[in-house]
Amino acid sequence: MKILKSAKKLTKEVENLKSQGNSIGFVPTMGALHQGHLSLIENANHYNDIIIVSIFVNPTQFNDKDDYDRYPRTMDVDIEKLKKVKCDYVFTPEENEMYPEEDNREFNFGNLDKVMEGEHRPGHFKGVALVVSKLFEIVNPHKAYFGEKDFQQVAVIKHITKQLGFNIEIVPCPIIREKDGLAMSSRNTLLTTDQRMNVSLISKTIFEARERSKKMTVSETKDWVIRTINDNPYLNVEYFEIVDESSLEPIDNWSQKGEKVGCIAVHVGKVRLIDNIRFYS
């Protein structure tokens, strides 16, 4: 496994590997790797000859400086984890490698960033789009793998990939959960023992909501989820929306066409967790 900090070197190596007929699978991450990331790498290994993982805590996607400072950074442990799976390259750029100068490119997300994460974290998707487009320029893989825990992020990345004309297949991968149902996230390591014991209510509630939705309206289902989670003193719901899978427009009636996904963000002290679930159509 090669560890590279230079974008130029990586681009060159990838071009070489491609010219020899290798397919390239790319897994962009911000480190603090957990089983969810490892499952992306495993998926990538099924369909690609060469696997490249990037680790870069991207400052431009944090709308809250404290959140950026607190974000877990565990590079040495991450590298050890990557050595145990099949990963060929790790790209670990410094900030000035990714942002040698201010980059003010603009993106058009249509309506995709008007709701949920986009509404509550202004500028977040611009930062994600900026770093992902730069990483795509550097790596230019055949396929790139993203976890569905960040459901809206996957939609935004698919959109900009098409818009910017990258010939890269975006592969969404299922959420990986802890035994008690908590969606795996690097931020889970920031929870205190008490908080950790209470956060499983988030996934339990949205899973139960899916069952209850058979007998409830959309608005009753939403109210029930928000009330049930907010009844727990450790948890504070920022939003729970039930949206159309493709447009991310909130739905107000179960009979509306298309797949429906319930997306939630919850504050647990200073930590903010997200999760989502597909509803039955």
Residues near ligand PAF (CB under 6 A): 28-30, 58, 61, 128, 131-132, 150, 153
In the complex, minimum distance from the CB of residue 265 to ligand PAF, in angstroms, rounded to a whole number: 15
Q: Is 120 in the active site?
A: no
Q: Which residues contact 255 (CB under 8 A, 6 or more apart)?
A: none
Q: Which ranges of 164-230 would DSSP assign to H, the alpha helix? A: 193-198, 200-212, 218-230
Q: Which of 37, 46, 120, 124 is catalytic?
A: 37
Q: Which residue has the tokens 């179960």?
A: 254
**CA 184 – CA 32 distance, rounded (Å):** 11
Strand pairing class (236-244; 260-268):
antiparallel
- 109 phi, psi to nearest 5 deg: -95, 5
Burial 69-100 (b: 16+ CB within 10 A, else e): eebbeeeeebbebbeebebbbbbbbeeebbbe
φ/ψ region of 200 (left if φ > 0, alpha if ψ in -120 to 50, else beta) reads alpha
**CA 212 – CA 207 distance, rounded (Å):** 9
In the complex, minimum distance from the CB of residue 38 to ligand PAF, in angstroms, rounded to a whole number: 14
Say whether 263 sits in a helix, a strand or coil.
strand
**Tokens of residue 159, six digits:** 């959109």
**Tokens of residue 240, six digits:** 């729970």
153/228 with CB nearer ligand PAF: 153
Annotated catalytic sites, by residue? 37
